[in-house]
Amino acid sequence: MDRTALAQVVWRSPSPWARLLRTALLVPAAFYRAGSGARNAVYDLGLRRPSRLPAPAVGIGNIAVGGVGKTPVAAHLAAELTRRGARPGILLRGYRGGDEAEEHRARTPGAVVVADPDRRRGAAAAVAAGADVLVLDDCLQRRDVACDVLLAVVAAETAGERRWPLPAGPWREGLGALGRCDGVVVTYKAAGAEAAAATARGLAPLTREGLAIAVGLDVTRLVPLRGGTPLAAKWLHGRDAVAVCGIGDPAPFRVQLERLGARVRLAAFGDHHAFTPSDLAAVLAMVGPVGVVVTTAKDAARLRPLWPATAPTCLVAELDVHVTYGEAVLARLLDQLGLAAHSRSTPEAAVAPPHHG
């Protein structure tokens, strides 16, 4: 069994052996949580102070590992800032494979994308390349830099589950981490808009500013992996599809494709999995004579160099972000950041960014 599938079983299965293993993993989880708490205490007590960044900045992060839609949300923020006349710099930690950097470059062509684990160095590089506002993808646990706005991203599908800490469960931190944030963005793929909005309203009081936003992540089109004319998502209706993904929680991806009417077989790999020719052989063995392979935008960059020209069609499911709750709240934040970015080049119109904390 793939390690991602195994982790999902251990974390979420009600079976006796999974419960027993979760309980055993609470011992290393206690050490993990203690280390995280000690690191946070250094900043909470003022023993260390975060560094300011050289441009107005919005940061997003999650308190659970993988699969919450953090990268599409970050890309949406960058696209909206671009629409407001800013040039965003998107800062990534530079995780293995470079998949998130490639996804951001495809989604927001005008943005400066910098992958560097040193966020201060990355910010300086982005500003030197022309960025006047920064979007930090995955920074909730990065206490060494300060953002003007910090948003936590939570998936509606898993928000209500018991919060077992890593490695006993997928949670990096408890809900106390929301106290460092200005608001919460609840994403949903398989859950409904009302459930996501209710979750956002329930979590928002735990944040500094009480901002509640809910966004739907919908598959809207299918782009051929090796190039070609995009297809509408409804093209999948009635077709057999093998869903290939290396993401933290693959179940919602399968549900999304099933809701489009596809008959889905799931081929799940570890988060940020580095695909090999043997992986592709296993996937292709799952595809029937009239089947198709569908993957995520995050996985496309790692699959593309390996995909044989003679293999069955592989389509990339592109997600659109639809703000379904708190649209005015998000628009106000982005307007302020856009004005602050504009003031960098026109000091006479200086506007302070919406700094908190």
| More confident: 125 or 101 | 125
Average pLDDT over residues 257-285: 90
CA triple 14-18-19, angle to 5 deg = 70
pLDDT beyond 80 at 355: no
User: Residue 78: what are its φ and ψ, rounded to 5°?
Assistant: -65, -40
Give 254's contacts (C-beta < 8 A, 6+ positions apart): 243, 264, 266
Q: 314, 30 in Cβ contact below 8 A?
A: no
SS3 150: strand
The pLDDT of residue 356 is above 80? no
More confident site: 206 or 189: 206
Whether 43 has a pLDDT exceeding 90, the answer reads yes
pLDDT at 352 over 70: no
What was the pLDDT predicted at 214?
A: 98
Residues in the chain: 357
Residue 311: predicted pLDDT: 85
Percent of the chain with pLDDT over 70: 94
* Residue 254 near residue 202, CB atoms below 8 Å: no
**Secondary element (H or E) of residue 222:** strand 211-224
Instruction: Check whether 349 has a pLDDT greater than 50.
Output: no
Lowest-pLDDT range of 53-57, 164-168, 235-239, 349-353: 349-353
Residue 346, pLDDT above cutoff 70:
no
The per-residue pLDDT for range 56-85, each reduced to its tens digit, is 999 999 998 877 888 899 999 999 999 999
Task: Please give the pLDDT value at position 322.
Answer: 95
Chain mean pLDDT for the chain:
89
Evaluate if residue 295 carries a pLDDT over 90. yes
Please give the residue that has the higher pLDDT: either 148 or 14.
148
Least Cα distance to 326 among 144, 183, 125 occurs for 183
Q: Are 89 and 108 in contact (CB under 8 A)?
A: no
Q: Is the pLDDT of residue 332 over 70?
A: yes
What CATH code is assigned to 51-217+321-349?
A: 3.40.50.300
- Burial tier of 47 (Cβ tally within 10 Å: 0-12, 13-18, 19+): exposed
Q: Is the pLDDT of residue 96 over 80?
A: no
Residue 343 pLDDT: 81
Q: Grade residue 3 by pLDDT with cuts at 50, 70 and 90.
A: low
Report the predicted TM-score, pTM, of the whole model to 2 decimal places.
0.88
User: Can you tell me the mean pLDDT for 31-50?
Assistant: 93
Pick the more confident residue, 9 or 194.
Answer: 194
pLDDT digits (tens, 9 = 90+) for 138-181: 889 889 999 999 999 999 988 888 888 999 998 999 999 999 99
- Between 81 and 103, name the one with better pLDDT: 81
Helix and strand numbers (H, E) in the chain are: 10, 14
Q: What are the domain boundaries of the chain?
A: 51-217+321-349, 219-320
| Residue reference for tokens 């509606």 | 156
Which pLDDT belongs to residue 84?
95
